[in-house]
Amino acid sequence: MIESVVQVRNLVKSFDDLHVLRGVDLDLFRGENLVVLGKSGSGKSVLIKIMVGLLTQDEGSVKVLGQEVKNLNSKELNELRLKIGFSFQASALYDSMTVRENLEFPLVRNVKGLSKQEKDKMVEEVLDSVGLLQTINQMPSQLSGGQRKRIGIARTLILQPEIMLYDEPTAGLDPITCMDINNLINQVNEKYKTTSIIITHDLTCAKETGDRVAVLLDGAFGASGKFEDVFENAEDYRIKSFYDYNFIKQ
Amino acid sequence: MSGESTNKDKVISKRIDRFFTGLESAYLFVKRFFKEVWFPPYEFKEVIRQCYQIGYNSLPLISLTGFIVGVVFTNQSRPSLAEFGATSWLPALISIAVIRAMGPLVTALIAAGKVGSSIGAEIGSMKVTEQIDAMEVSATNPFKFLVVSRVLASTFMIPILVLYTDFVALLGAFVNVHANEMTSLSTFFVQVFDALSFLDITSSLVKSVVFGFTIGIVGCYKGYNSTKGTEGVGKAANSAVVMAMFLIFIEELLSLQVTNFFRQQ
């Protein structure tokens, strides 16, 4: 039986009068790439932020690698976070640091006793794996949107996480760069043997990267399964319109 | 009519509620600082980087302002003393004014504008671009890295900047006194130090530490709690300056009362 690394049950989250998640259930199995689709504001990012303890749910249970996230103290939460890589929508690179310093930041604070050579080697290796070794001494402001995304992913990979959470990895990028990012997500999954959740509203990204897709509708998952099963024979008009809109030119 | 007054009551009660919520959140922020500052990991490298930013980068502005304050204050004070034929008291008068009040106050106000706004804007923009969240998910304590380091740096550096401003302002005063009264450098500084007491210097340094802490913590608090995107960053920077300046004047007033109490003993 395949191990479930993330288990979400009856998750409820509201912001004042805005009910974002209304009873979400989810299982993420080891080694798979799960794509969570949904309209803007449907609570996709909220869902993964609860998984890393950036937000706390109102009701329900979120277990990551067997641990109930809301019950962890800050030390336990930090230990769990080391096993999770979170790639932010806007990359969230530290503006005042070079690419090298950005990558070293989580490394020097969480891996003790590394020599300078070992640090350099790890940084260079992970930068090479995203194809941006040449940017090592540049500032984030000197990078393009796609490069920033790649460096953001590299920064999360440096601690070799078991689970990768991608928040809108292709948002705001041109189609060719989107394709590069989709390939990178697949390469990361293969090379680092990660289990991933990819939050997106880009169906091409979902098709390219997802082993399984789940569609968030009105605060709960409306459909889940293989891409073709969910979309190509969709009967729910909300899922159908989502698909039609994304592939309107075909 | 009654509906209108109910609405007004609601608005007032909301404002009062917001005021006390803000007060509570500021209290919790300061409390968290004092809780976190003692325990490792210590971000020494970041503290030193911030000391450089706050101290060294403020030197040109502080030098210019301090020098002009010294020159102008001496020039403005001379006619009043000259009426009594007491221009020889200028060095003593200036040293007391500069060391007791003007040096710390001018430095703190300039730092509130330059340092406070930059801390507020930097942390604010890190907040709205999720850089603080990114630190948190990489198992780093962003409060320690961003807030504790900046508040410590500002608390250390403002007193040093105050001493420097005092020196530059006195130098400006000397230039003016020398040009008009032909007083020598050694005579000027002998008169300056004769007029000062131990209490003057210690009280000036103690309040500079308080000013430094205020500038750092207010800038960090406003930045850390900024919302609403780029508009929020602007507001954070602006309110960091306004709030820090307001608190500096209140603290100046309080320190005057405390120093006077000790002076009368």
Interval A223-245: pLDDT, tens? 888 888 888 777 777 787 776 66
B91: number of Cβ within 10 Å: 25
Query: B111 and B204: one domain?
Result: yes
**Interchain proximity B125–A109, CB inside 8 Å:** no
- Closest residue by Cα to residue B97 from B24, B226, B192, B207: B192
Q: Is the pLDDT of residue B254 over 50?
A: yes
Model confidence at A248: pLDDT above 80: no
Give A110's contacts in chain B (Cβ within 8 Å): 138-140
Q: Which residue has the higher pLDDT, B62 or A3?
A: B62
Per-residue confidence band for B6, with pLDDT thresholds at 50, 70 and 90: confident
Same domain, B196 and B233: yes
- Dihedral of CA B44/B50/B53/B59: which sign? negative
Nearest to A156 by CA among B145, B41, B137, B140: B137
Number of domains in chain A: 1
Tell me if B138 and A94 make a contact (CB, 8 A cut-off).
no
Mutant choice from B52, B53, B137 vs A, greatest count of A C-beta within 10 A: B137
Residues B159 and B70 reside in one and the same domain: yes
Claim to verify: residue B80 and residue B165 sit in the same structural domain: yes
Task: Give the span between the Cα atoms of B164 and A197, in whole angstroms.
Answer: 55
ipTM for the complex shown: 0.90
**Same-domain pairing of B128 and B17:** no
How are beta strands A67-68 and A59-64 bridged, if at all?
Answer: antiparallel
What is the residue-averaged pLDDT of chain A? Answer: 90
A94 contacts B131? CB cut-off 8 A: yes
With 0-12 / 13-18 / 19 or more C-beta atoms within 10 angstroms meaning exposed / middle / buried, residue B256 is middle
Q: Are residues B23 and B51 in the same domain?
A: no
* Domain total of chain B: 2
Does B216 or B43 have the greater pLDDT score? B216
| Chain B residues with beta carbon closer than 8 angstroms to that of A81 | 136-139
Query: A79 to chain B: which residues are within 8 Å by CB?
Result: 139
- Same structural domain, B16 and B114: no
What is the C-alpha separation between A93 and A88, in angstroms, rounded? 9
Residues of A in contact with B129 (CB under 8 A): 90, 92, 95
In terms of pLDDT, which residue wins out, A163 or A222?
A163
Beta carbons within 8 Å of B77's beta carbon, 6+ residues apart: B90, B93, B94
| Residue pair A33/A196 in contact by the 8 Å Cβ criterion | yes
Q: Contact, B211 vs B158, CB < 8 A?
A: yes
Same domain, B131 and B233: yes
Are residues B2 and B64 both part of a single domain? Answer: no
- For A83, nearest residue in chain B (alpha carbons): B138
Is B138 in Cβ contact with A106 (below 8 Å)? Answer: yes
- Find the CB nearest B130 among A78, A92, A156: A92
Quick one: average pLDDT of B105-130?
Answer: 95
* AA identity, residue B260: N
What was the pLDDT predicted at A174? 87
List A24's β-bridge partners, or say none.
Answer: A11
Q: Which residues of A touch B138 (CB under 8 A)?
A: 81, 105-106, 109-110, 155-156, 159
Q: In which domain, by residue range, is B27 found?
A: 1-36
Residue B163 has pLDDT above 90, yes or no: yes
Domain ranges, residue A105: 4-246
The predicted model gives A129-149 an average pLDDT of 93
CB contact under 8 A, A93 and B130: no
Q: Cβ–Cβ of B138/A89 closer than 8 Å?
A: no
Decide if B139 and A93 are in contact by the 8 Å CB cutoff: no
Q: Find all residues with CB under 8 Å of A73, minimum gap 6, and list them.
A: none
CATH of the domain at A91: 3.40.50.300
Partner-chain contact B41 A109, CB within 8 Å: yes
Verify whether the Cβ–Cβ distance A94 to B41 is below 8 Å: no
Structure tokens at A231: 């979309």
